[in-house]
Amino acid sequence: MSNSTAIAAVTMTLRAILTNGITSDPDLNDTTVTLLPPDKARGTSTANQLNLFLYQILRNAAWSNYDMPRQVQPGETGMPPLPLNLWYLVTAFGRDNDAVQPFGHRLMGKAASVLYDHPVLSAEEIKSATTAALPSTDLDRQIERVRITLQPLSLDEISKLWTGFATQYRLSAAYEVAVVLIESGLPVKTPLPVLTRGKADSGIMAQADLRPPVPMLTGIVLPKLQTSARLGEVITLIGDRLDGTNVAVVFMGDPGTSPITIAVPPGADATEKQVRVTIPVDPVNWRVGAYAAKVLVTRPGESQQRETSPMLFSLVASFTIAPTAAASGNITFTLTVTPQVRPSQTAFLLLGSQPPVPADSHSAATGTLTFQAPSVPTGTYRVRLRVDGFDSILFDRTATPPIFDPSQEVKVT
């Protein structure tokens, strides 16, 4: 790679190549090669002059984020070099402003011929041109060679370019010089080599099938084809590599609630493909809402307990209602609910398609809710309890066709 003097080294090498090549022609031996901005290049001089102006620097896309060979070893991290493409404008000024002969045209032709014969800047040319003025440069040792390419400019590009120079147009040509790799000043991180790969230096784990090597869950089956679960029901977690020791299921509820861990006995309840667990009837610690379930298991031959990714499901309330028969008008319904409903939760009683009836306020978690239903007309109503947007289960989907749960019915006469 090169240090920060690389751009100056390229410019000086190009000037040396052009000077040596052009002055070798006896008719052009009075030519000077300058490095001035186009609006200041000519000045009062009337001799042959070639001006080399660096007008644009672009990042090289091919070398971006590319580690240099032999600089960064496998496993090491370091800042890649800054890769730059340099754009030069070569402008010819003929002797006596081309009044007698078109020396400007001869200069441009000779310059184009010299650069055509030097498509790559050799290490010797760079070193020869920079030894006196830039002894610290190391562009000559750069692993990637510096190449010179003629770049055609459209009439529109030429017009914009010289308008930006704020001077009259003179015969010129553009060249791209690439690539210059400027080394980063940040240190390379060199970690120690790896001594062992895996247990007993066994290397990576290999297996004869495409199954994941660690326990994982792929689905959850709720009881009776339901879309939600209730306390006391059995849920089945489906996955792979779930057999082992210390099998447990962890349930995680809303943020702020403590996880609930349930140990699962081996055998039919915990096989390689599924784990069955009963949600305990614990109305105090559980609450209606969304839950995530994951399996903890110690695989055969391992000492650490692994955990699967979680599967989501919703826990809804189960209840009994009283009265189940009443006269039409204003009716007070009392529901015995499991699990308990906390004061921060909202609860509504849904009587068929009637407007939702809010629960009476309560200052503590309770398993008894009262609802004041106004002006209930006569009819038979299917009853649901909605807590925080989660509705109780009203259907029995195991029957063919599905039926309504007869215990969740109120008759108003």
- In a shared domain, residues 90 and 33: yes
CB atoms within 10 A of CB 330: 11
Provide φ and ψ at 354, rounded to 5°: -70, 160
Placement of tokens 């290049």 in the chain: 41
Taking a C-beta distance cutoff of 8 angstroms, is the pair 395, 404 a contact?
yes
Decide if pLDDT at 91 tops 80: yes
Query: Which of 125, 160, 182 is a domain's end point?
Result: 182
Note whether 367 and 336 are within 8 A (CB). Answer: yes
Residue 43 has pLDDT above 90, yes or no: no
Whether 197 is in a domain gets the answer: no
Kindly report, residue by residue over 330-389, the tens digit of the pLDDT.
999 999 999 999 999 999 999 999 999 999 999 999 999 999 999 999 999 999 999 999
Is the pLDDT score of 303 beyond 90? no
Last residue of a domain, one of 259, 280, 315: 315
Looking at the predicted structure, is the pLDDT value of residue 82 above 80? Answer: yes
Examine the domain organization and report whether 144 and 75 are in the same domain: yes
254-301 pLDDT, tens digit per residue, is 877 889 998 888 777 888 999 999 999 999 999 999 999 999 999 888
Report the distance separating Cα 215 and Cα 219, nearest Å.
Answer: 13
Tokens of 29: 């031996």
Q: The CATH number of the domain where 382 resides is what?
A: 2.60.40.10
Cα separation values, 157 from 54, 127, 160, Å: 16, 34, 5
Strand spans (E) along 316-365: 318-322, 325-326, 329-341, 347-351, 357-358
Same domain, 294 and 362: no
Q: In the prediction, which pLDDT does 125 show?
A: 94
Rounded average pLDDT over 236-265? 89
Of the candidates 323, 320, 335, 321, which has an alpha carbon nearest to the alpha carbon of residue 369?
Answer: 335
Which region holds residue 253: left if phi is over 0, alpha if psi is between -120 and 50, else beta?
Answer: beta
**Domain limits for position 85:** 6-182
Looking at the structure of the chain, the number of domains it has is 3
pLDDT tens for each residue of 8-18: 999 999 999 99
Give the per-residue pLDDT at 176. Answer: 97
Token duo for residue 370: 């009262």
In a domain, 195, yes or no: no
Residues 15 and 132 in one domain: yes
In a domain, 95, yes or no: yes
- Assigned domain for 365 exists: yes
26 and 161 share one domain: yes
Give me the long-range contacts of 348-353 (CB less than 8 A, separation at least 24).
348/385, 348/386, 349/373, 349/383, 349/384, 349/385, 349/386, 350/383, 350/384, 350/385, 350/386, 350/391, 351/376, 351/381, 351/383, 351/410, 352/379, 352/381, 352/382
Higher pLDDT, 220 or 300: 220
pLDDT tier for residue 23 given thresholds of 50, 70 and 90: very high
- Confidence at residue 71, expressed as pLDDT on a 0 to 100 scale: 62
Half-sphere exposure of 320 (CA within 13 A, CB side): 3
| 298 phi/psi in degrees, rounded to 5 | -100, 115
Res 398: pLDDT: 78
Tell me: do 311 and 346 sit in the same domain: no
pLDDT (mean) for 42-53: 92
Residue 327 has pLDDT above 90, yes or no: yes
